[in-house]
Amino acid sequence: MNEMSVMGVMRSIVPITRFNKGEANRIFDEVETSGTKIVMKNNRPACVLMSPGKYESLMEMLSDYVLQEEAESRMAGYDPRESKSQEEVMKDLGITPDELSEIDVELE
């Protein structure tokens, strides 16, 4: 939904009867061209239709938000005096730099 105005919301409403009349393809085309649609059943929102790209974008934003909240929570309890350097961690785990150079790692 591009507009958060009353008119924008009204344009996004689709009564379920349009599906019952065989207009699904037309409604899906409207979603593709104009964005999110709210399907009404018995005068209540029954579902929200959106493009797969918009859904994926929203899920990524939600995931990023959850990760940010987790990072902020962890940083709230961060005490630099309890930190170890990479070299100290590797020594504690018995890992040598040569062992790490043999491993291919792909980061996103």
pLDDT tens track for 31-53:
998 889 999 999 999 999 999 99
Q: Is residue 80 over pLDDT 90?
A: no
Please state, as a whole number, how many other Cβ atoms lie within 10 Å of the Cβ of residue 37: 20
User: Whole-prediction pTM value?
Assistant: 0.60
Residue in 36, 41, 43, 31 with CA at minimum distance from that of residue 9: 36
CA 34 – CA 38 distance, rounded (Å): 12
> Residues with Cβ < 8 Å from 90, sequence gap 6 or more?
96, 97, 100
User: 22 by DSSP, 3-state: which?
Assistant: coil
